[in-house]
Amino acid sequence: MPVATKRRRILTGTAWLAGFSLLPELARLAMAAAPPATGAARPFDFARLRALARERAKAPPTEPRDERPPQLRSLDYDRYRQIVFRRDHALWHDRPLAFQAQFFHLGLFFRQKVRIFEVADGQAREIAYDPAMFDYGDNRFEPPLPEDLGFAGFRLHFHTDFRFDMVAFQGASYFRAVDGRNQYGMSARGLAVDTGLPRPEEFPAFTRFWLQRPRPEQTVITVYALLESPSVTGAYRFLIAPGGSTVMEVEAWLYPRRPIERLGIAPLTSMFQCGENDRRVCDDWRPEIHDSDGLALWTGRGERIWRPLVNPSRVRVSSFLDENPRGFGLLQRDQQFDNYQDIGARYHLRPGVWVEPLEDWGRGAVMLVEIPTPDETFDNIVAFWNPERPVQVGEERVLRYRMTWGASPAPAVDLARVLATRIGKGGVVGQPRPPRTRKFVIDFAGGSLPLLAEDAPVVPVVGASHGEILGNAGAGERRPGVPASFRLPGTRIWRTVFDYRWQETRPVDLRLYLRLGPQALSETWLYQWDPPAG
């Protein structure tokens, strides 16, 4: 079975400030050594990278191996954290540019080195590892580390404050970015292979990066990457633009080496331990613990869907069939500090990520994989696009999409959004509780709801894949046995309450949206719930 991915806590905490025009201070060149280059310069462009990926797809794959020397294999988390890149050795530190790059050291979870090149004037030179780039803290290595050790990845910084990260690529094909609130959260990957199947998934890795040196006036940076795994190779181009949200345009050319049962495009990886809808694993003083609280979908037919996340007792894989989706994302809608009470993790500031296809993707499904996790140190949520047409060995498949990292990265729409989902005992307080019944309480806000009179005849349209939807006497409903929708006193929030009664213990899919006459007022709330046995 799939297992939750150990989180890369090394990257938490710092980021960058929102962008503006280049500062005059950039003209002051720093008196520090630039990272050394090694080897001869070679011509480079995206066409050459695609050719390289295509050729490597024809060669037998190499098994990844641990490239850490013995001195690094014994490092624990705290000792690895002491290895800090020296800012005065950053790439482009000695140039008046809007970006700088720093590099990650091998060690801890990061066992394979990646090759990193600088591209300037159409020529690429490899950046050589130099121990002078790093402050090793209290670590002492005997014998000294190899001179050709290499790097585990890199991070980019923007001129608004070079102390803080903007984006980081580290570990397999993982990368993450921040928005203007200076907080890392969930991660993305270049590609997912066989995720959510009853066998270990494959983790393709970026093995080489090319960083395009920007011109002094540029505030968008280009990063190229070579992806490799036993099943597929790929050539990637990232156009990365900082701002109030970080926006990446991704172009990926894939070359399968062998048939792939489940290909995951634009995979997003997050963590959900507990929230107001699911406290199964939450013996904690904090009310909620998660990087994302829901999956948002914008279907090819134009329907907007919100699916709250859960921490299930077993691996759950959900497929949302679609054709030419307009977008999907894992979002952190709840941004109220009071609902987390964590000044260290700052979950209320975690950015969401929205994926927008830049071309028709055809038929397929957005897939959501939810994996049990005992605590917040494991990523247990994955979402990706799975095309219906399987990839063929020897084919070239091209994908283009945009990723937006921010507080509200999904495009705005004039519909009410799901604000919260709460679940508890069915029936009415003070009366005998009916058996095999559960109460669902869903709050909506925004859209046209603030314009409605308190007695507006809002109708909750509720459905279940099996079982029975009941009303809830005493919860504000107008007719007994009918699900209720009503405005919370003193607010512009509309609440829907209904009881669900089950006969079978298989999972039930619940669906709800609000309607006023023929007009849909809200996005569609989807939820999968597991009735208890017995």
CA distance 58 to 191: 19
Q: Which domains does the chain show, CATH number per domain?
A: 36-406 (2.70.98.10), 417-529 (2.60.40.10)
Reported for 428-433, long-range contacts at CB under 8 A and 24+ positions apart, including other chains, are 428/472, 428/473, 428/474, 429/474
At a CB cut-off of 8 Å and minimum separation 6, what does 519 contact?
448
Query: pLDDT digit string (tens) for 138-171?
Result: 999 989 999 889 999 999 999 998 988 999 999 9
Q: In this structure, are residues 330 and 381 in contact, taking their beta carbons and an 8 Å threshold?
A: yes
High-pLDDT (> 90) share of the chain, %? 85
**What does the block give as tokens for 98?**
């809007």
Residue whose token pair is 């907080």? 183
Residue whose token pair is 């050594």? 33
* Nearest by Cα to 498 from 457, 456, 527, 522: 527
| Comparison of pLDDT for 489 and 471, the residue scoring more | 489
CA distance 425 to 512: 19
> What is the three-class DSSP state of 26?
helix
- Name the pLDDT band for 23 (thresholds 50, 70, 90): very low
Query: pLDDT digit string (tens) for 410-459?
Result: 999 999 999 999 999 998 888 888 999 999 999 999 999 999 999 999 99
Cα dihedral angle (100, 106, 109, 115), rounded to 10 degrees? 70
Residues in the chain: 534
CA distance 359 to 357: 5
Could you tell me the sign of the dihedral formed by the alpha carbons of 58, 64, 67, 70, in that order?
negative
Phi first, then psi: give them for residue 11, nearest 5 degrees. -95, 5
| Rg of the chain (C-alpha set) | 25
- Name the pLDDT band for 472 (thresholds 50, 70, 90): low
CA distance 252 to 310: 31
What count of other Cβ atoms lies within 10 Å of the Cβ of residue 163?
10
Whether the predicted pLDDT of 534 surpasses 70: no
pLDDT computed for residue 13 by the predictor: 32
Output the furthest CA–CA distance in the chain (Å, rounded): 81
* Nearest by Cα to 95 from 146, 152, 44, 162: 162
CA distance 34 to 234: 30
* Nearest by Cα to 150 from 232, 50, 258, 38: 38
What is the distance of C-alpha 97 from the center of its chain?
A: 29
Query: pLDDT digit string (tens) for 315-346?
Result: 999 999 999 999 999 999 999 999 999 999 99
High-pLDDT (> 70) share of the chain, %? 90
For residue 50, the 8-state DSSP code is H
> What is the three-class DSSP state of 480?
coil
Average pLDDT value for residue range 226-245: 97
CA distance 346 to 198: 34
* Nearest by Cα to 237 from 119, 361, 373, 400: 400
Phi first, then psi: give them for residue 349, nearest 5 degrees. -105, 5
Paired strand residues for 367: 319, 384
What is the distance of C-alpha 62 from the center of its chain?
A: 28
